[in-house]
């Protein structure tokens, strides 16, 4: 087995290193974050650092890169206080990936990548029309991470849109039936397959 020290890793080319380190923490869910700026222009970008923070209250976080690298999503969230998270499926994964490109601030990425911006009720932020599982959040807190100038963006879930056939009796959502995709590294996307469900683990069982 190869032993690689961080001193070696630091010498690697930027994208090679990013791919390698990103793979170490494993598969992540791939989602599209939909936002709108104060003037009403929509923005869309891929995010893989989505993390469950708690169910009651229902809080979900994601890591936003430093402002200089990825300013639009976080600035729109600060401006409006709302955003949507949309699962990605194979039928539009290429378009979803394209939304990670650095478009100019005045470009609506829904139009640029040809995905439908769907507005529902009075929710200001756009959903992705093509997504089977999507939810809206209200900004709860933005926590700056000093070590690398990134941000943990924490949102409270306000609305969920889901095909009810995907919801099982115990609340479980069989994401593989929806074809929700996982991702790895900086550009790889995966289909998933259920291996086993075990039930809630207790010491005496
Ligand atoms: C598979 C994949 C996962 C990504 N995950 C994140 C992420 O978790 N956080 C982030 O800040 N950027 C992530 N990005 C990069 C953003 O999509 C990219 O910086 C985008 O341009 C941000 O757009 P914005 O400036 O409109 O917010 C990811 C890109 C890809 C391809």
pLDDT category, 205, cuts 50, 70, 90? Answer: confident
Whole-angstrom CA distances from 198 to 170, 182, 205 are 13, 21, 11
Atom 27 of ligand 1, nearest CA residue: 73
Both tokens assigned to 7: 């001193």
Residue 183 CA, closest ligand 1 atom number: 1
pLDDT, average across residues 68-73:
95
**Residue to mutate, 25, 48, 126, ligand 1, most ligand atoms under 8 Å from C-beta:** 48
Cβ atoms of 178 and 168 closer than 8 Å: no
pTM for this predicted structure: 0.97
Both tokens assigned to 76: 């729109």
Beta strands in the chain (DSSP E): 28-29, 31-36, 42-47, 51-55, 58-64, 82-87, 117-118, 127-128, 133-145, 150-162, 182-184, 188-190
**Residue to mutate, 46, 92, 102, 184, ligand 1, most ligand atoms under 8 Å from C-beta:** 46
Atom 20 of ligand 1, nearest CA residue: 100
177 CA to centre of ligand 1 in angstroms: 25
In whole angstroms, give the CA distance from residue 84 to residue 36: 10
**pLDDT > 90 fraction of the chain, expressed in percent and rounded:** 98
pLDDT category, 13, cuts 50, 70, 90? Answer: very high
Residue 74 CA, closest ligand 1 atom number: 27
111 CA to centre of ligand 1 in angstroms: 18
149 CA to centre of ligand 1 in angstroms: 15
Atom 17 of ligand 1, nearest CA residue: 100
Which residues have CB under 6 Å of ligand 1? Answer: 30, 43, 45-49, 62-65, 69-73, 97, 100, 102, 183, 186-187
In whole angstroms, give the CA distance from residue 33 to residue 44: 6
Residue 73 CA, closest ligand 1 atom number: 27
Give pLDDT tens digits for 84-104: 999 999 999 999 999 999 999
Cβ atoms of 156 and 138 closer than 8 Å: yes
Tell me the CATH class for 27-187.
mainly beta
In whole angstroms, give the CA distance from residue 60 to residue 157: 7
Give pLDDT tens digits for 17-69: 999 999 999 999 999 999 999 999 999 999 999 999 999 999 999 999 999 99
In whole angstroms, give the CA distance from residue 120 to residue 124: 8
In whole angstroms, give the CA distance from residue 106 to residue 129: 21
32 CA to centre of ligand 1 in angstroms: 9
């Amino acid at each position: 087995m190869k032993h690689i020290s961080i001193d070696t890793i630091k010498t690697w080319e930027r994208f090679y290193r990013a791919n390698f380190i990103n793979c170490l923490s494993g598969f992540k869910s791939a989602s599209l974050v939909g936002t709108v700026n104060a003037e009403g222009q929509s923005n869309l970008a891929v995010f893989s650092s989505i993390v469950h923070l708690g169910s009651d209250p229902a809080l979900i976080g994601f890591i936003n890169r430093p402002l200089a690298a990825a300013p639009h999503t976080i600035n729109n969230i600060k401006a409006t206080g709302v955003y949507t998270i949309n699962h990605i499926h194979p039928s539009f994964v290429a378009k979803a990936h394209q939304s990670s490109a650095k478009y100019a601030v005045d470009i609506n990425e829904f139009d640029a990548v040809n995905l439908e911006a769907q507005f529902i009720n009075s929710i200001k932020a756009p959903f992705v029309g093509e997504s089977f599982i999507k939810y809206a959040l209200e900004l709860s807190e933005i926590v700056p991470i000093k070590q690398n100038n990134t941000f943990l963006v924490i949102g409270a879930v306000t609305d969920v849109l889901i095909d009810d056939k995907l919801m099982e009796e115990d609340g479980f959502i069989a994401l593989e039936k929806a074809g929700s995709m996982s991702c790895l590294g900086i550009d790889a996307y995966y289909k998933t397959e259920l291996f086993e469900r075990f039930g809630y683990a207790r010491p005496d069982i």
